[in-house]
């Protein structure tokens, strides 16, 4: 992939991820536990990690967080996004090479757990309330369920995009 094409694809994926993230924010969460959401935007991050590389996926994620905070517009949201995103990226970067593509959903689940853990630690640090750790088990269950589905989504998207690339020659 040429440098220019790569840049264009990265910009495109950032826009896609931002759109998904903003729209998802408008949908009420399926269960009334704050902080629990599907995390559909991570489909794009994981796909980028598979198709372009870890660094590129990190850039897309950072771009989405920066732009997302302009739209959502609060500093605490930025701290949360960064804490969750950074930990999730670290975990997925470390694991993505260790699992075959068929098990991409496992990487995604660990990434989702990392994301929720990062947000939980940020919440504990910001509010100075260590008791929030009790919130952890619920977030773990949520991460496993949502991570499985976003991971499967990323796997199918990766396959589809590769097939498309091949057809284009």
Site string for another protein, 83-122 (x = CB under 8 A): -----------------x-xx--x--x-------------
Q: Does 78 bind another protein (CB under 8 A)?
A: no
Minimum CB separation of residue 164 from another protein in Å reads 26
Minimum CB separation of residue 70 from another protein in Å reads 14
Q: Does 76 bind another protein (CB under 8 A)?
A: yes
Site string for another protein, 121-160 (x = CB under 8 A): --x--xxxx-xx-xxxxxxxx--xx--x------------
The residue within the footprint of another protein, chosen from 32, 98, 164, 168 (CB under 8 A), is 32
Report DSSP letters for 44-66, one per residue. HHHHHHHHT-HHHHHHHHHHHHH
| Distance in angstroms (rounded) separating the CA atoms of residues 66 and 164 | 30
CB burial string 43-60: b at 16+ within 10 A, e below? bbbbbbbbbbebebbbbb
- Distance set, CA 63 to CA 14, 51, 66, 133 (Å): 7, 18, 5, 30
- Beta carbons within 10 angstroms of residue 90's beta carbon: 15
Kindly state the greatest CA–CA separation across the chain: 56
Q: Does 169 bind another protein (CB under 8 A)?
A: no
Applying CB under 8 A, the residues found at the interface with another protein are: 32-34, 73-74, 76-77, 80, 100, 102-103, 106, 109, 123, 126-129, 131-132, 134-141, 144-145, 148
């Amino acid at each position: 992939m040429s440098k220019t094409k790569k840049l264009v694809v990265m910009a495109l994926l950032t826009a896609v991820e931002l759109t998904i993230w903003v729209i998802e924010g408008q949908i009420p969460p399926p269960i009334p536990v704050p902080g629990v959401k599907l995390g559909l935007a991570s489909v794009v991050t994981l796909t980028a990690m598979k198709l372009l590389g870890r660094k590129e996926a990190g850039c897309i994620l950072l771009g989405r967080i920066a732009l997302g905070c302009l739209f959502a517009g609060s500093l605490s949201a930025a701290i949360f996004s960064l804490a969750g995103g950074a930990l999730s990226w670290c975990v997925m970067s470390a694991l993505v090479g260790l699992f075959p593509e068929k098990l991409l959903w496992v990487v995604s689940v660990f990434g989702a757990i990392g994301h929720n853990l990062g947000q939980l630690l940020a919440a504990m640090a910001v509010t100075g309330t260590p008791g929030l750790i009790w919130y952890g088990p619920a977030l773990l269950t949520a991460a496993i369920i949502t991570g499985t589905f976003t991971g499967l989504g990323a796997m199918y998207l990766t396959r589809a995009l590769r097939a498309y690339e091949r057809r284009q020659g």
